[in-house]
Structure 1
Amino acid sequence: MITIVEGAERDRHPALIDEMFRMRAAVFADRLEWDVSVTNGREVDRFDAEDPLYLLSLDDRTGALQGAVRLLPTTGPNMLRDVFPVLVPGGAPASPLIWESSRFAVNPAAFNAYERAEANHVVNRTTIELLCGIVEVCQRAGIEHVVSVFDARMARIFRTIDCAFEVIGAPTRIGRTMTYAGIFDMSDAMRERLGEAGRLLAPVLAPVDPRQTPAPASSD
């Protein structure tokens, strides 16, 4: 199940948010060896100060954190525009109807107890659950597209699960891997394809208080 935490209200979930930052350090700094800043075992960047929306995948039985992703509006500071402009020499998308996803991560600590084959299955399911959650929350808020920066490994995963994307700008080798900027359609068709790939036909978002639902986007 996916729990939504708004950045402005993350003090209401201190343990869960702290675990997310620790997971990000384990994934992006330790495992992927990205050039990210880790302080006291936590990976936090300047975009976490922009009141993003966090989607957290929690184990239905134990409540353990299985994965997370961050969403930001493209009308303000975001990674594609401010960190990876080389990928979009013509300029990054900026629209109230487009959000950016970043820091997509599956928690390696959550699967240590599984046998390898079962762990791979759960990792794949968590990945698809997070993607389904992105579509569902965007549809709630009236968001039509999501942009994201991802590497060749994630591009292969997206293609495997029929998570269609359009490459925008100019793919560029950053560090040791080819890196892409892509735009994803937050449509019913996208949700249906992901649901079939992960056998997640029912909604994945946990019920929320209407007062905590992201405000619909404005096209003005």
Structure 2
Amino acid sequence: MRRVFVVDWSNRKLFQQQMEQHFRLRHEIYVVERQWQSIARPIDIEMDAFDTEHAIYLLALDSSGDVIGGSRLIPSTRPHLLGDVFPHLAKGNPPRAPAIYEWTRFFIAFPHRATGKSARLAGEVLCGLLEASLQLGVRQISVVCEAFWPARLRTLGWTVEVLGEQLALDDSEIVAALIEVTEAALEGTRRFYSIEGPVLHPSVVLEPVRATEAAGHTH
């Protein structure tokens, strides 16, 4: 089922209802369910400093058009979590390049999760992440994640490099990693989740990243 949409600044007005659902789901999952109190706000939505005009959102929609899963990509040449909050996880040298994007805020709505295994919808969002990255010409994805994620992704056929030491938080250990974006990783993920063919909606057409897009950008 090709139900993963890409939403960015150019088409965001077409997905206003879904984007609001997306931010409310993030609140339910990260603030209420996972108790990330550092990102709690007085309102029932979860947005951070990186939800800017440069963010690219992957939204999995059900047959009614409601959001049931999602994720986010941020250009590494712009402010992002690893580069601006956790650079020490990459030994003070977080990777930055036009063809490197950061991956954050991966989630699956509770009714679509599977007990004791990774849900098929998770596979669809992961495939959408890789399909969109390949269309964009993104060669690597950086991520700040819980320490178990690199091994889990390697079981899908992903090439993942951990960039530094683990950091202990109140309820977990986190690491920074760099992921190679390849057709082999996409095919491995499709096989693991028994997904046949693309998951991005046919309306999704992305322009490749140009090396000049971030020229001159500094922090």
Unaligned stretches of 5+ residues in structure 1 = 112-117
Which residue matches 1:12?
Answer: 14
Matched with 2:121 is 126
* Deviation sequence 1:172-216 (CA, Å, 0-9, x none): 11222110111111101100110001111300000126xxx3331
In 1: Cα distance, 2:24 partner to 2:185 partner: 31
Q: CA deviation at 1:82?
A: 0.9
Choose between structure 1 and 2: higher helix proportion. 1
In 2: Cα distance, 1:52 partner to 1:101 partner: 10
- Equivalent pair of 1:37/1:44 in contact (CA under 8 Å): no
Which residue of structure 2 lines up, in the alignment, with residue 114 of structure 1? none
Segment drifting more, 43-52 vs 119-128: 119-128
Task: Spell out, residue by residue over 1:53-85, the C-alpha distance to the aligned partner (whole angstroms, 9 max, x if none).
Answer: 1001112x3333221101011011111111112
Are 2:161 and 1:166 aligned?
yes
Percent of aligned pairs with the same residue? Answer: 28
Cα shift at 1:32? 1.2
- With the length of structure 2 as denominator, give the TM-score of the two structures: 0.86
Shift of 1:93: 0.6
**Which letter does structure 1 place at the counterpart of 2:80?**
N
Shift of 1:171: 2.0
Aligned to 2:210: 218
TM-superposed CA distance for 1:50, in Å, is 3.7
Q: Which runs of 5+ in 2 are unaligned?
A: 213-219
Which letter does structure 2 place at the counterpart of 1:56? L
Cα distance, 1:12 vs structure 2 = 2.4
Question: Which residue in 1 is equivalent to 2:50?
Answer: 47
Note the C-alpha offset of 1:170. Answer: 2.3
Superposition misfits of 4+ residues, deviation over 6 angstroms: none
Q: Which residue of 2 aligns with 1:183?
A: 178
Instruction: Say which structure is richer in strand.
Output: 1
**What TM-score do you get using the length of structure 1 for normalisation?**
0.86
